[in-house]
Amino acid sequence: MAGSGLLRYEYYHTHFDPDAYIKTYYSVLDDSVIGGAIPFILERQQDIFKAGDVKGKRLLDIGTGPIPHSVIPAVPFVEDIYLTEFSASNRKYMHDAVFGSGKQDYANIFKFVTDLSDKSQPWTKLSEEFKGKVRGIFPCDVLKDDIFAGSHFPLFDVITTSFCLDSASPDVDTYGKVVKKISKHIKLGGHLVNAGAVDGSFYFVGEEKFYALNISADEVKAFWKGAGFSIQSWDEIKGSPECKDTDFSSAFVMHCIKES
Ligand SMILES: C[S@@+](CC[C@H](N)C(=O)[O-])C[C@H]1O[C@@H](n2cnc3c(N)ncnc32)[C@H](O)[C@@H]1O
């Protein structure tokens, strides 16, 4: 482990092992891993997109990391997918998986999401559709004023993000500022689907202990409302007290619409 404190910011470039992260949190999709938070999030995201109103041409995902699960339920409902990520090593990992010869195929996530809607379809159909719609994997630092480091995008119809804002924000006030910055990239009437954790303080990636922001559900909701969004749904699942990998009290999925 690097030093004695919790790792954050630049340590994402050097100490965040994509394979270790995926193995811990995404390789088994059942209640035995962080209280079943990941299958819960995938099911809720699927419900939100399947309901029919959450769609559009262009989707932006913020802080995709090494795994695009936050985008997978949205794939049939959008045309162009822009992934963004802070760490160069995660961007390379994702690039190799989507465009190159990476060994990672996210088969269990694609299969889980495919089975939620049509068990007769092969998971590879959704995977191919996803790969065909990804327009790039762009640098992103939500703590900077210019969060996309010089990349200029038209406004998005849909924004997704998962476990990024609570990992990146050093304090609750900064979380609020990040929300405001993100809100400038979505159209009026656009949809935001945010998954995250509340009341947490750390999570492990292999042996490395990363910082997480201790933020409450009320604070998260208030920041999005304050940035002009109306909350359409908020669902949460309790964390597991026995879990040694992270300590959040609940994981949530929030769907909201940009109104002003
Ligand atoms: C816990 S991982 C989440 C990854 C993925 N979205 C998921 O749901 O599993 C936190 C992500 O936030 C990214 N991150 C950390 N600091 C950031 C920053 N300042 N700006 C943008 N992303 C950041 C990390 O690189 C990492 O991919």
Residue ranges covered by each domain of the chain: 11-258
- Over residues 156-166, mean pLDDT: 98
88 Cα to the center of ligand 1, angstroms: 11
- Over residues 199-224, mean pLDDT: 97
C-alpha distances out from residue 52 to 45, 55, 56, 76, 128, Å: 12, 7, 11, 11, 22
6 Cα to the center of ligand 1, angstroms: 15
Which of these, 136, 138, 116, lies nearest to 126 by C-alpha position? Answer: 116
**162-204 residue pLDDT tens:** 999 999 999 999 999 999 999 999 999 999 999 999 999 999 9
Residues 161 and 61 sit within 8 Å (Cβ to Cβ): yes
173 Cα to the center of ligand 1, angstroms: 18
- pLDDT for the residue numbered 209: 97
Nearest Cα residue to atom 1 of ligand 1: 163
53 vs 182 pLDDT, higher one: 182
User: Is the CB of residue 64 below 6 angstroms from any atom belonging to ligand 1?
Assistant: yes
**Predicted model pTM:** 0.96
- Over residues 217-221, mean pLDDT: 98
How far, in Å, CA of 221 to CA of 229, rounded? 9
19 Cα to the center of ligand 1, angstroms: 15
15 vs 51 pLDDT, higher one: 15
- Over residues 25-35, mean pLDDT: 93
Residue 45's H or E segment, with its range, is helix 37-50
User: Is the CB of residue 164 below 6 angstroms from any atom belonging to ligand 1?
Assistant: yes
At 122, the pLDDT band (50, 70, 90 cuts) reads very high
Nearest Cα residue to atom 18 of ligand 1: 141
| Domain topology for 11-258 | Rossmann fold (3.40.50)
- Over residues 90-97, mean pLDDT: 96
At 241, the pLDDT band (50, 70, 90 cuts) reads confident
- pLDDT for the residue numbered 101: 82
205 Cα to the center of ligand 1, angstroms: 12
- pLDDT for the residue numbered 249: 95
pLDDT > 90? residue 151: no
Nearest Cα residue to atom 16 of ligand 1: 168
258 Cα to the center of ligand 1, angstroms: 23
Pocket test for ligand 1, best of 61, 86, 175, 193 (most atoms within 8 A of CB): 86
pLDDT > 90? residue 103: no
User: Is the CB of residue 163 below 6 angstroms from any atom belonging to ligand 1?
Assistant: yes
Asked which of 91-95, 97-101, 125-129, 164-168 is least confident by mean pLDDT, the reply is: 97-101
User: Is the CB of residue 12 below 6 angstroms from any atom belonging to ligand 1?
Assistant: yes
pLDDT > 70? residue 2: no
User: Is the CB of residue 248 below 6 angstroms from any atom belonging to ligand 1?
Assistant: no
How far, in Å, CA of 27 to CA of 178, rounded? 30
Mean residue pLDDT across the chain: 95
pLDDT > 70? residue 1: no
- pLDDT for the residue numbered 132: 97
